[in-house]
Amino acid sequence: MSALDLVVIGSGVSGLSAAVRAASAHRLRVGVITKGQLHQTTTRWAQGGVAAVLGGTDDPDSTDLHLADTLSAGAGLCDLDAVRVLVDEGPVRVSDLIAMGAIFDRDHEGDYLKAREGGHSEARILHARGDATGAEIERALVVAVHDTAASLVEHAFADSLLMENGRCVGVRYQDTDGTMHEMEAANVLLAAGGAGQLYSVTTNPVEATGDGIAMALAAGAALGDVEFVQFHPTALHHEAMPRPLLSEALRGHGALLRDTNRERFVEELEPRDVVSRAMMRTMIEQEVDHLWLDATELEDFAVRFPTIHRSLELVGLNATTDLLPIAPAAHYTCGGVITDLRGATTLPGLWAAGEVACSGVHGANRLASNSLLEGMVFGPRAVDAIAAGGDGPEATGAMRTVLTPDDARVAGRRLDPPSAPQWGSVDTDPAELRRRVQSAMTRGAGVLRDAASLAETGQVLDDLAGRVPAMDSDPAWLEIRNLITLGRAVVAAAANRKESRGAHTRDDFPGSSDDWMLRQVMASA
C-alpha cells in the first residue's frame, strides 16, 4: 500500500490547485514536492491575469467567443474538446479561488475589472493587484495547501519517476544535502512547469529547466507540440534575468509598439506569435537588438500597473515620459507531456497538468492569459478523475493523437525521440554550459528558424552534451542534462515540421501547410 494517494510535483497554480482539491474535496492524502520554496514558481511572475467569462447582464462576451479566440490563436492545432473544457470550467475554478481567498480587482460598483490582451475579441482578463495576478493566486493557494496537504517538501529536486511494471508509483528526489529520497504514491501529478531557461532571454525564473518534461520522456511518456515555444513580445530589454515583463495588458490599454524610427509596424493586439515575429523581422531589418513600447498616453500607470511601475523605476525608466525598450523573450512551453481530457498521460499512474502538459488547449500558440486558467482547470480535473478511480489514458483531447492518430479532430504523427545524448566527463562550470545551451537555442531555434540553423543547434547541443558529466547528481548538472534533452527534442520536432505555424516560424518554409495540420507525438516505439 502506498503511503500517499497522490504526490504532486510542482507548486504553481496547477499543482497547488490540484493538491488543495485532492485533500479538501476528496480527502486524499497528498504530498507536494517542489524545487524551491512553495511560492517560488513561474505562476508567481504572471502579470496579466486569468481569461474567464464570468457572464452577467449586458456582457457581450461568451464562452463561445473565448473558445473561438483560443482556437484562432492556436493556429489549427488546438483540441476543440479540451478548449471547450477550459472555457466552460474556467469560471467555476475562478470562483473556487475566490472562495479560497484570492482577491481579484473590482470597480467602485463591485464588478470585476476586465482587461483585454492580444488575440482576445473582448475584455475578459481578470486581474489582481493590477498586474500581480499570479502572485495573488499563488498566495491564496499556498495558504490553502498548508492547511490541507499531508506532506510538503520544499527544495526537493525531483530526479526521476519511480516506475514498476510500466506504472508510475512515485518520485525520487534529492534534498539540499544531496541525500536521495523516494516518495511513493498511488498516483503522481506532474505540475513542474515549462522550460523558458532553454533560451538566453526569458521571462521564466531560473528554476524553469523543463525537469518535468525531461523526466516524463525518460520514463517513456509521449510528448507533443514541443516545437512550439512561445516568445512574449514585450519583455523589458535589460540585463535583469528573468527579464521583467511588460504585460500584454499594457497594449490592451492602448500602449503602442514603435520601431527605431518611432513608427508603428504591427497591430498591437494580434496574438503573440504574430507580434513577436513582426518584431524580430523589424529588428533584423533595422539592425537593432530592441524596439520600443510607448505607454506614455496610459492614464494612472502607477496605480493600474504597480509591479511594472516598480520594475521600471528600478532601472531608471518612467512609463509616462520614456519609451520603454523591449525585445521578445522565451515565455511559455506550449507543448509537453500529452494528456487526455482528465490529465492522464500515456503512463498509468502518471498525470500532468499546466505548462508541463500538452492537453491540447494551446495548439501551436497559447492565447494570452489562458495559462493560469489551464492550471486551475486541469489540475483539479486530474484529481477528480483519480478520486473517481480513473487509471490510464482515454482517447480524448490531445491523447487522441496517440491512441487514435487518424482522428480528424487533430491527427497525430509519431516522431522518434532523439537518441540518448552521449554525456561525457569534462568537468566544466555548469553555469557556463547553461549559457552555451541557451545561446545555441536562441541563435538557431528561437522565434525564427530554418533547416541550417536547426541542424547547427542540434550539433552544438550534441557537442555540449559531451562536456556534461554523465554521473554527477549535482542539481546544476541535472538541470543541464534536462535542458539538453529537451533542447534536442525541440530541435528535432522543429526540424521535422516543414512549415510555419503559430509559434514555429521556418524562414525556409514561410507558409502553413494543410499536410501539417497535425500534432507531432514524440514517443519511443
Cell of 468: 556534461
| Distance in angstroms (rounded) separating the CA atoms of residues 273 and 364 | 9
How many residues interact with ligand SIN (rule CB under 6 A)?
A: 10
| Distance in angstroms (rounded) separating the CA atoms of residues 428 and 436 | 12
Closer residue to ligand SIN in complex, CB, 134/417: 134
Catalytic residue status for 124: no
**What are the backbone angles phi and psi of residue 85, rounded to the nearest 5°?**
-60, -45
Closer residue to ligand SIN in complex, CB, 204/345: 204
Residues 6+ apart with CB under 8 A from 221: 337, 338, 345, 346, 347, 350, 352, 523
Q: Does 307 help bind ligand SIN (rule: CB under 6 A)?
A: no
Closer residue to ligand SIN in complex, CB, 211/248: 248
Residues 437-496 that bind ligand SIN (CB under 6 A): none
Residues 371-390 that bind ligand SIN (CB under 6 A): 371
| Distance in angstroms (rounded) separating the CA atoms of residues 423 and 432 | 16
> Nearest distance from residue 249's CB to ligand SIN, in Å?
6
Closer residue to ligand SIN in complex, CB, 134/430: 134
> Nearest distance from residue 247's CB to ligand SIN, in Å?
3
Catalytic residue from among 139, 251, 272, 497: 272
Torsion of CA 145, 147, 148, 153, to 10 degrees: 60
Residue, CB closest to ligand SIN: 48
Residues 244-273 that bind ligand SIN (CB under 6 A): 245, 247-249
Residues 210-249 that bind ligand SIN (CB under 6 A): 245, 247-249
> Nearest distance from residue 501's CB to ligand SIN, in Å?
20
Residues 336-375 that bind ligand SIN (CB under 6 A): 368-369, 371
Alpha carbon 239 to chain centroid distance?
Answer: 22
Question: Furthest-apart CA pair in the chain: how many Å?
Answer: 67
| Distance in angstroms (rounded) separating the CA atoms of residues 303 and 312 | 14
User: H-type helices in 54-132, by residue range?
Assistant: 63-73, 80-100
Catalogue the E-assigned strands of 342-407.
350-352, 357-358
Closer residue to ligand SIN in complex, CB, 191/372: 372
Q: State the binding string over 33-72 for ligand SIN (x if CB under 6 A, else -).
A: -------------xxx------------------------
Catalytic residues: 272
Which residues of the shown chain bind ligand SIN in the complex (CB under 6 A)? 46-48, 245, 247-249, 368-369, 371
